[in-house]
Amino acid sequence: MINIHEIYQSIQGESTLAGMPCTFVRLAGCPLRCSYCDTPQAIAFDSGNSMAIDDVVAQAKSWSNPLLLVTGGEPLAQKSCIELLQKLLNTGGIVQLETSGALDVRLVPSAVRKVLDIKTPGSGEEKRNRWENLQYLNAEDEIKFVLKDQADYMWAKGVIEKRLQNTPATILLSPCWGALSAEDLCAWILRDKLPVRMQLQMHKVIWGAEKTGV
Ligand code: SF4
């Protein structure tokens, strides 16, 4: 059994797979409290319904989208997330996992494409970064920083230079919606020649920041 907040289809708005038709499986519950959280409705562990994993997989498969995204909340906060990931892989689709970076990723099946956050000082959850996770990333994985301001950017630049020089993963910098201008972030990246990709949250551009379930 697993506690599910919602299952729906949309376009993946983030990561190097942005734009792909995608089935979202959003798990309920997160132990973090990021200042910029855009899914506060899924933070409580009782904000979902308990479902059999096989039923979740059947529902996710029913849209026949090429990409299956497991997100939250913090999906890895539920132990049965690992079984869910494996069963989604067994359907033959691309499986992506969005995780806060605060929990151990070692049990995540290697074929799952991880998008691992690094929490900046502006998130208020910097102390939750589990730096050991970085050694378990591969070339299909991505590391994401959400930046609230220039101080966050400079902090992220330092992390990239000190800890991510040899990472095989793609590094994404994302301006926090409504807090940091994408134009400023682009200018800083170009000025500093950082080995990163700038990304926007495409779903917010299309449907607006407040709409959920899209
Ligand atoms: S880790 Fe994600 S779901 Fe949890 S509080 Fe932070 S932004 Fe929200």
What are the beta bridge partners of residue 10? Answer: 22
Best substitution site from 3, 35, 36, 39 to test ligand 1's pocket, by max atoms within 8 Å of Cβ?
39
Distance CA 72, CA 179 (A): 22
pLDDT of residue 72: 97
pLDDT of residue 34: 98
Q: Is 100 in the pocket of ligand 1 (CB under 6 A)?
A: yes
Distance CA 196, CA 181 (A): 17
Number of domains in the chain: 1
Per-residue pLDDT of the chain (214 residues; tens, 9 = 90+): 999 999 999 999 999 999 999 999 999 999 999 999 999 999 999 999 999 999 999 999 999 999 999 999 999 999 999 999 999 999 999 999 999 999 999 999 999 999 999 999 999 999 999 999 999 999 999 999 999 999 999 999 999 999 999 999 999 999 999 999 999 999 999 999 999 999 999 999 999 888 888 8
Type of residue numbered 151: A
Is residue 212 one of the residues assigned to a domain?
Answer: no
The residue range of the domain holding 125 is: 2-207
What are the beta bridge partners of residue 175? Answer: 147
Distance CA 125, CA 139 (A): 26
Is residue 85 one of the residues assigned to a domain?
Answer: yes
Residue with tokens 């990409």: 67
Q: Is 77 in the pocket of ligand 1 (CB under 6 A)?
A: no
Name the closest-CA residue to atom 3, ligand 1.
73
Is residue 21 one of the residues assigned to a domain?
Answer: yes
Is residue 56 one of the residues assigned to a domain?
Answer: yes
CATH number assigned to the domain comprising residue 84 = 3.20.20.70
Is residue 80 one of the residues assigned to a domain?
Answer: yes
Best CA proximity match to 69, nearest among 149, 124, 119, 10: 10
Alpha-helical (H) ranges within 76-209 are: 81-89, 150-163, 182-192, 202-207
pLDDT of residue 64: 97
Distance CA 148, CA 143 (A): 17
Is residue 213 one of the residues assigned to a domain?
Answer: no
Q: Is 41 in the pocket of ligand 1 (CB under 6 A)?
A: no
Structural tokens at position 67: 């990409």
Type of residue numbered 26: R
Distance CA 108, CA 89 (A): 11
Is residue 93 one of the residues assigned to a domain?
Answer: yes
Contact 49, 78 (CB under 8 A): no
Helix (H), strand (E) at residue 27 = strand 21-27
Three-state DSSP class for residue 174: strand
Is residue 63 one of the residues assigned to a domain?
Answer: yes
